[in-house]
Amino acid sequence: MTKELSEMPVIYIISDALGETAEYVSRAAAAQFSGVRTKIRKIPYVQDEIHIDEIIEEAVKEQAIIVYTLVVKRLRTYLEEKAQELGLDTVDILGPLINILADKTNLAPSYTPNVTHLLDEQYFRKVEAIEFAVKYDDGKDPRGVLLADVVLIGVSRTSKTPLSMYLAHKGIKAANIPLVPEVSPPQELFQISGQKVVGLTLKPDLLNQIRTERLRTLGLGASADYANYQRIVEELEYARGIMRKVSCPVIDATGKAIEETASRILEILYKGDRND
């Protein structure tokens, strides 16, 4: 017989960090019971036995299930003993896996709470770089040119935005500037070293195909100036002139995957290799 909705147990999530992992697992499990709304109470940054006592006192009143990600072994043991005394069910998310890894590696775990965020500075740099790439995409704010680790320049549809986002996931702050004959590039582009700028280009035939398909997707005719072959040749020549003026390396991305072009950009940034 299906239980009434009111009978669905409350889940207490206890963690010495944010408790995101335990919450995700709990919600994934609860989602298997269609139509049931589960009450989840998350208690992060639990650091001592006194706090555990307070939580368990509340959990007993609701006969809650306790799901936890406590790294410190002392606190895990204390929580398990207290919960068992009072007849509460517990689920240890991290403990069993830590124990298995210790057995397999013959190494002693550090038992350091929140260690992933304490050690992973690259995580925060990546988030910052992604926000940067969004803010300074497509020349929206030329001030980003002065703040970027790398500035990508090129005509429309040379993959400047996808490359900026890919590099952002590597922790690289990338701004990008579209080059259009009718619009002068921002002065900031000429105020930075050419070593921080990378020009992107494609063969005219490929760019014509990409733009034609783009127009088709938008429901526009392929005869539009945007996909005109001669116009594309002129744009590419104009862009080449800007790249020469900036004195930056140029990558022909024809036939290259985003990952391959991004790898080439990283080589240029870190090795100073300017030849395509």
Q: Is 157 annotated as a binding residue?
A: yes
Do the Cβ atoms of 147 and 173 come closer than 8 Å? Answer: yes
* Closest by Cα among 269, 249, 246 to 190: 246
CB 156 within 8 A of CB 236: no
List the beta bridge partners of residue 183.
Answer: 180
The one-letter code for the residue type at 212 is T
Q: Which two tokens stand for residue 170?
A: 């590597």
159 known member of a binding site? yes
The annotation status of 158 as a binding-site residue, yes or no, is yes
What letters, b where the CB count within 10 A reaches 16 and e where it falls short, cover 159-182? bbbebbbbbbebbbbbbbbbbeee
Residue 38, marked binder: no
Interatomic CA distance for residues 215 and 226, integer angstroms = 8
Show the 3-state SS of 161-188: HHHHHHHHCCCCCEEEEECECCECCCHH
Residues annotated as binding site for ADP? 154-161
Which residues are annotated binding-site positions? Answer: 154-161
